[in-house]
Chains A and B, each alone.
Chain A
């Protein structure tokens, strides 16, 4: 546990405005000078079902969810189907209260809406006993009553904010400004009145607690956004003006953001009949010279397998994003997992030739989506950005200047009509689109685009000769395969010349290491700080380049540590398997800490997992699994 931080959890039913309220809360704290980070937990339902969001706020950079939380605003589920009856899944109306007991820290504040949750029920869940045991400060307030007095019941969430502000003594100024910005007319007035009334009412209660909300300030302007925002903005700044998709959680977020902005950016968004079509449309647009993308989550991405292979074979550039959720099959639609790595790396028939980046946080979502477009179009290859439900929805503040970058709409290795006139043509008149040995000595044979004079060629998923005609000649086959696959070596060299996508953390000469990929990286970093504070000697490496794999970088790092704990959110240690396959050694150094219960790691869990692995202790009592080194 870290001191001097607020971790505020708002819990209610889906439809109670938990998401938007938490966003406003986070934004207000950011504007007041704090660093913020949110963690979302929600069910696969439209209305009803326990959902919560945590907002963690500190006066220094926050890179992860925390361990548990210290303030609960429990609204109760106003959309519960069976508020009075004991249902198969338990009493739904109360879930946003009692299901949160486990993680509320000792001495925490528990504010609940007694307007919705009645006394008898509260007795039944033994709140009083739990509070006494943990030293919680329980604050029942009739938030519903306050909301209804000025407006509608849904404004319970605004009342909750007002009461929170009073109890934590953080003032309501920033919240008022947000209400004024986001709402108009009666809505605005009612919400302001609810906020004020709840603030007054809670002030009178004079709640005694130990939570101190820190004060902070930013030295430059901050923005609050999600991984989905950052991926979308990276695509737009890289000149992507075409997206095609089919809704699927959690990928839908990127699709939605792109669809909202593409028209004003002069682009096109297409929602189509299925993901086979979605990927195929992106290829069609790219074939015409447009920078295009598609994406999905696991199940939808499975349907994209064949178009993905077609992109590899026809060397049609495209960017696909894959937002992982817990599998297999439909799995747990709204829960994060990192179990689609092998799926994304290897799906589609034949030897794969693709680029896969796994950004670890919101900042990397922007830069690596941009890199994916640049590489895809320059090297005529599909590039995939793989992320998960955690990064997709979490909000984090960043300096606005991070996005102050020039756009790049360069469509890569496409010839102009003048260049086509000078380029190689076959005796039949066809443009030589797929030269065995491109003229500049690289492995990329520049393309033409339909409509350009004398640029005609055939793109085909069959093996083909330089002008694109179907060919099963063995020498041609080898030449084309080698050229397509050699592009990956060129891309690795290109990436190595630029700022590394891998992130190094902790003391360089540390004894042991934690190896991590994707969304768990920054949580690991927080854990590494604590481990070093606890007297361990630990550093971490976060890997983003899944393909082509950064063999040199990771080898060098593994060489430098005695033992490496590989942390990932899946059951079969997919990233560790990839690392072993790519590097071919260090199997005796790498053990795994795995979690696949639908919730991301908390920093304290990684600390425990690391210490247990060092001491050979059992993790059976936790939500985690330990997988020893190869051969053990």
Chain B
């Protein structure tokens, strides 16, 4: 029997279960795109049929890191840029848990960029939502890795000389097997994409455009938006790597020309997740490792019996 009965529950899940019993006062500004992520995430959970006790949400630092405070589940608000390494070990330790990680563009594309690339490369079965508002919000409006070239801020008084990072292309190249962009202004699409990402068996990367009305733009800047799956202009096969790469490049470039393209950019259902890979080479137990510590009958190996003979 599992020590984690929440995982075995088979029941209807209500969206409201993901709202804390007493909701803390939100620290996000009125009109902030982060509310859109929270709402879409809550809506996606009943669709994927997971309850709050079997979801672990790992966040980084910044406005996005406050997501844990308003979303009812197990939560770990880690340090700046490090939500992914904490989260992926959690998934390895107990693959039965639904692991979601979230952070901002500074968190995931700047300080934590190394982890973003390697977690995608390893294709852990988890969902990563990047709140991309193209700015450092909580520290008061500095230029971020996704700010457009020429972006002026107090730390870039003459305008940024750097081209923005290309998050979708980067994650495709790194090895993510589900890559999408959505926007807070399009809650229905966002909910669907989050649900798909959670159900995807591999690393799902969602670049989520979240307007920052205080420092750069309000919601109007992401309107109108185009859903590339709905548009005749963009016919491409999301399972074709080359076509996906082309679509991503367009999507990244046009954002800075004022055209907001959203939707699924790449889906690869064929590549095994990291956990599957690791189990297939005998480097990960079949049963969740976390269960073993609660199993009173578990037999624990002794080095005296198993390893000491090599030293005699």
Give me the interface of A with B, judged by CB distance under 8 Å.
Answer: 221-225, 229, 233, 236-237, 239, 241-242, 244, 261, 263-270, 272-274, 276-278, 280-285, 287-292, 306-307, 309-310, 314, 400, 403-407, 409, 411, 414, 416-417, 426-430, 449-462, 468-470
Contacts and interface: CB of A to CB of B under 8 A. Distances in A.
B114 A264 contact: no
A233 B285 CA distance: 20
Contact of B79 (A292, A306, A414): A306
B24 A469 contact: yes
Contacts of A265: 301, 306
Contacts of A407: 300-302
A276 B116 CA distance: 13
Contact of B76 (A276, A455, A459): A459
Nearest to A267: B289
Contacts of B290: 288-290, 449, 451
Given A277-B82, A453-B4, 5 more contacts: A242-B93, A289-B294, A451-B290, A452-B5, A470-B69
A407 B20 CA distance: 41
A461 B79 contact: yes
B311 A266 contact: no
A267 B53 CA distance: 25
Contacts of A428: 20-22
A241 B289 contact: yes
A450 B85 contact: no
Please give me the 8 A-B residue pairs with the lowest Cβ-Cβ distance, nearest first: A284-B89, A451-B4, A428-B21, A280-B85, A460-B77, A281-B89, A223-B311, A288-B93
Contact of A459 (B2, B77, B85, B115): B77
B72 interface: yes
B68 interface: yes
B303 A306 contact: no
Given A236-B303, A261-B307, A268 B283 contact: yes
B78 A456 contact: no
Contacts, number: 230
Contact of A242 (B6, B89, B300, B311): B89
B273 interface: no
A5 B166 CA distance: 67
A451 B53 contact: yes
A429 B89 contact: no
B209 interface: no
B109 to A, nearest CB: 15
9 contacts: A236-B307, A241-B289, A284-B85, A287-B76, A306-B79, A403-B304, A450-B94, A458-B76, A469-B24
B22 A289 contact: no
A461 B2 CA distance: 30
Contact of A264 (B7, B56, B117, B306): B306
A222 B115 CA distance: 45
Contacts of A292: 89, 93
Chain A CB within 10 A, most for which of B72, B76, B97, B115: B76
A233 B301 CA distance: 11
A307 B24 CA distance: 27
A283 B298 CA distance: 23
A450 B90 contact: yes
Interface of B: 2-7, 9, 20-22, 24, 52-56, 58, 61, 66, 68-69, 72-79, 82, 85-90, 92-94, 96-97, 114-115, 117-118, 278, 282-285, 289-290, 292-294, 298, 300-304, 306-308, 311-312
Nearest to A273: B118
B89 A285 contact: yes
A277 B118 contact: yes
Given A291-B293, A428-B21, A455 B85 contact: no
Contacts of B304: 237, 400, 403-405
A268 B53 contact: no
A456 B302 CA distance: 34
Contacts of A469: 24, 69
A404 B303 CA distance: 9
A222 B312 contact: yes
A519 B4 CA distance: 44
A619 to B, nearest CB: 39
B300 A263 contact: no
Contacts of A264: 301, 306
A457 B82 contact: no
Given A290-B93, A428-B21, A451-B6, A284 B88 contact: yes
Contacts of B300: 239, 407, 409
A234 to B, nearest CB: 8
A309 B87 CA distance: 17
Contacts of B306: 261, 264-265
A404 B56 CA distance: 39
Nearest to A235: B303
A456 B52 contact: yes
A284 B293 contact: no
A451 B54 contact: yes
Contacts of A241: 289, 292
Nearest to B289: A290
A429 B20 contact: yes
A604 to B, nearest CB: 30
A221 B308 CA distance: 11
A470 B20 CA distance: 14
Interface centre among B20, B85, B118, B292 (most CB of A within 10 A): B85
Nearest to B56: A450
Nearest to B275: A268
Contacts of A409: 292-293, 298, 300
A310 B65 CA distance: 15
B74 A455 contact: yes
Contact of B302 (A237, A272, A460): A237
Contacts of B118: 272-273, 277
Nearest to B283: A263
Contacts of B301: 236, 264-266, 407
Of A266, A282, A451, most B-chain CB atoms within 10 Å: A451
B7 A451 contact: yes
A284 B86 contact: yes
B219 to A, nearest CB: 27
Contacts of A468: 75
Contact of A233 (B76, B115, B307): B307
A115 to B, nearest CB: 33
A281 B304 CA distance: 28
B100 to A, nearest CB: 12
A489 B21 CA distance: 37
B293 to A, nearest CB: 5
A285 B88 CA distance: 9
Contact of B289 (A266, A287, A417): A266
Contacts of A457: 74-75
B292 A288 contact: no
Contacts of B302: 237, 405-407
B5 A417 contact: yes
A406 to B, nearest CB: 8
B75 A459 contact: yes
Nearest to B285: A266
Contacts of A290: 93, 289-290, 293
Contacts of A452: 3-6, 53
A455 B53 contact: yes
A237 B118 CA distance: 31
Nearest to A409: B300
Contacts of B74: 450-451, 455-457
Nearest to A226: B311
Contacts of A427: 21-22
A458 B56 CA distance: 10
A224 B311 contact: yes
A221 B289 CA distance: 35
Given A267-B289, A285-B89, A450-B56, A274 B72 contact: no
A91 to B, nearest CB: 38
B291 to A, nearest CB: 9
Contacts of B96: 451
- Kindly name the residue among B87, B285, B300 whose own CB sees the greatest number of chain A CB atoms within 10 A: B300
B128 to A, nearest CB: 14
